[in-house]
Amino acid sequence: MASEQPRSGYATGLPAAAAGTVTLGGDLVVNRLGYGAMRLPGPGVWGEPADPDNARAVLRRAVALGVTLIDTAGYYGPSVADRLIAEALHPYPPDLVIATKVGARRGDDRSWQSDARPESLRAAVEDDLRRLRLERLDLVHFRHMEGSTIPLAESVGALARLRDEGEIRHVGVSNVDAAQLVEARRIVPIASVQNLYNLSDRHAQDLLDICTRDGIVFMPYVPLAIGALGQGDGPPADLAGRYHVTPAQVALAWLLACSPMMVPIPGTSSLAHLEENIAAAALQLADEDMPVSRARATAQWLVLAHPASIGFPRAGIGCALVAARYVVRFVERTNATSSSYNMTVAY
């Protein structure tokens, strides 16, 4: 099983490896560009895909391109994404890490609901083990849902006990704030954080800073702003033309440049889009391609000194220099892009 073998032969020399590697939880080496399985089920992340063979082909191609981390959840489908992963990839390559999430469920009306009770989390982990055909899960995130009445400590404590029992290798958290991350780390070592973060929404900057400082992997969900950052008129479009790449590739390369602990997990059900996304691993945005002209000096100052005024929490210098080049267009689009997120969805 993938969970039981040492990680000494991670994929190198393949496209995804161009992003470099990061060590998850002190012992799992993964390439820094992963794949998210949320787009594999049918519309609305519900039911079977229109073409299951294509979904399995996407998964196989992701691994062939050097992806060594796949993110999934039992509530994707529900159960559909997990089953497709097992059908396509089991027995798993020894370097493949499968990360999953618990803490949410789907209602009969296709709604996204919190289910953070310890007994529910245990049942979800056991279901994941069965569907994914694993003896131990490499990484399980507790997905905090707004409005949950279960104390965070109880939910994270349940995963800590499952870790002690050997059913989970590493514990992560998702959709948390900095105070909740501190609380979780008092209970169990946290190997990774999954939060909303992309070029047009950086409200989790404080969490990214903590992860970068403390060596915790940060997996941004919705890395392409639900496709908005891949559009020809989106903020990255200017640089895309300069580098002869797509806007989506610029947005992913920007994320990779923000922190050595960053592991984007873009999802797609398209083989062509998968190839495009993984090719971003080799794209490096040069500092010298980010000149700050007199006209843009004020824009950069806004990013660094008054980030909240344009939707940016306080930014790191490197990310801010990249963002400054097209910050004016970003400001015009931020509200529309951010409002498109449905935060009741357990990404």
- Which residues are catalytically annotated? 76
Cα–Cα distance measured from residue 85 to residue 60, given in angstroms and rounded to the nearest whole number: 9
Q: How many CB atoms lie within 10 A of CB 309?
A: 10
Distance CA 266, CA 34 (A): 7
Single-letter amino acid, residue 35: Y
Q: Residue 133: which region, alpha, beta or left (left: phi > 0; alpha: psi -120 to 50)?
A: left
Q: What is the CA radius of gyration of the chain?
A: 19
Return the DSSP state at 78. Answer: T
- What DSSP letter does each residue of 183-245 carry, written as one string? HHHHHS-EEEEEEE-BTTB-TTHHHHHHHHHHT-EEEEESTTTTTGGGSTTSTTHHHHHHHTS
Rounded-to-integer distance, Cα 337 and Cα 347, Å: 16
- The torsion angles phi and psi of 71, rounded to 5 degrees, stand at -105, 135
Give the type of residue at 39.
R
Query: What is the helix (H) or strand (E) element at residue 160, kind and residue range?
Result: helix 152-164
Structural element, H or E, at residue 36: strand 35-36
Q: Is 142 left (phi over 0), alpha (psi -120 to 50) or beta?
A: beta
Q: Which letter does DSSP use for residue 138 in this model?
A: E
- Cβ atoms of residues 55 and 85 within 8 Å: no
Residue whose entry in the numeric block shows the structure tokens 């992560």: 172
Nearest to 138 by CA among 270, 263, 25: 25
**Greatest CA separation for the chain:** 60
